[in-house]
Structure 1
């Protein structure tokens, strides 16, 4: 059976993809040994990421050439807004401030998203979005396989492993594959691999507590 564009993208990024899924942050979360401090740092930084993710989606919605893609991206923007609510409710329950400065990695990743949406091709932007969503589906599916829907993390796990989210990731990949041409593939691969690298760096950043040096 011939490989698809999506297969090729995942094969191209396999080393960094595996490193991302096997990151100590996720493994410690899955076995219940992750410190609350590290988890809270992730909550703060991922909240900032999702805020800019909505801006990224807004740019894509404006560029969408047809109603099917436009509606799918609009649904995603609503889902991102619902994710902000999960973060906000958790932060309220734990007295955690979400008014924090993005770290260099968080800022770099969101800047990459916004720059791609503003100046890259629509297909590069879709590759970035599919890469980010697929990364979270794979990462949190690993956590769910080991931890189930443990109460502490149930809302996060369910959000990124639900059948609805899986269907969205598949639909997005189908949109990318259906619209790409042979000429598009080099730039799509570059955008996807960069996304995979940032996904790894984001887990590494929240695990090590890396922030601005001064």
Structure 2
């Protein structure tokens, strides 16, 4: 990393191949095209909802608890509180709005993933983790560990990395959306999902996370930078495996 290179740029450059694997999956291509199987989509929607609702909201709360809000001699609201409180507050509020909207769209287009009757019929096919896939459960547990034991730098790295990958992934899916002209309910829902996850507001939020993280001015070779790089690799690992396996079409 050069003296002027941002820490986030260093990570994205060093792990470019892994980032591509996490953001250019066949599931995303088919979702953009509108050719994804509805059963596969419903199962992914369930896992994404569980991750966002249980994992994401609690995680932002854990990060907020790490921030000192005490004024310094020179500033009433010094960094990192001045940057991170608005970011984390927006994140928690948006996750709640997002998951409510998520369920509404799924129900509107016959993709309801938490229908009581359906869940009762499917109970036997779930194992010891209940409705959570092993990757979803592991990913949520990892967030809880970082939220409880990690530094604020690690915490913001994980937030930025997960949101950066998610936004980039759906921007990739959107490049195939010109082919989605189906009137099928599943595909109509996909159009809404892809549009929602690629809005300028979401992209701006990712950039705000990145800018705040870089304000910590992490130095390569330092313990803090090493921990953050390790966390980045963990997020890449989970994100690569969060997309369901689908056959190339």
Aligned partners of 1:192, 1:20: CA distance in 2, in Å? Answer: 12
Query: Equivalent residue for 1:207?
Result: 245
Aligned partners of 1:69, 1:95: CA distance in 2, in Å? Answer: 35
Aligned partners of 1:143, 1:53: CA distance in 2, in Å? Answer: 23
Greater share of residues in helix: 1
Query: Equivalent residue for 2:88?
Result: 73
- Aligned pairs (5 A) from 1:47-126: 47-51=49-53, 52-65=55-68, 66-93=81-108, 94=110, 96-98=112-114, 101-126=131-156
Unaligned runs of 5+ in 2: 69-80, 120-129, 181-187
Report the TM-score, using the length of structure 1 for normalisation. 0.89
Q: Does 1:11 align with 2:49?
A: no
- The structure whose Rg is larger is 2
Report the TM-score, using the length of structure 2 for normalisation. 0.77
Aligned partners of 1:186, 1:176: CA distance in 2, in Å? Answer: 14
Query: Equivalent residue for 1:167?
Result: 204
Question: Could you report, residue by residue, the CA deviation over 1:102-145 in whole angstroms, capped at 9, with x for unpaired residues?
Answer: 11000000110111010011111111110110001110011112
Unaligned runs of 5+ in 1: 209-214
Aligned partners of 1:167, 1:76: CA distance in 2, in Å? Answer: 12
2:160/2:206 contact within 8 Å kept: yes
**Structure 1 range deviating more: 58-67 or 186-195:** 58-67
1:149/1:157 contact within 8 Å kept: no
**Structure 1 range deviating more: 67-76 or 130-139:** 67-76
Query: Equivalent residue for 1:195?
Result: 235
Runs of 4+ in structure 1 deviating by more than 2 angstroms, as ranges, are 90-93, 95-100, 148-152
RMSD over aligned Cα, in angstroms? 1.9
2:153/2:216 contact within 8 Å kept: yes
Question: Could you report, residue by residue, the CA deviation over 1:8-27 in whole angstroms, capped at 9, with x for unpaired residues?
Answer: 11123222211122211111
Q: 1:179 to 1:149 in 2, by over 3 A?
A: farther
Aligned partners of 2:88, 2:179: CA distance in 1, in Å? Answer: 28
Q: 1:143 to 1:41 in 2, by over 3 A?
A: same
**Structure 1 range deviating more: 53-62 or 88-97:** 88-97
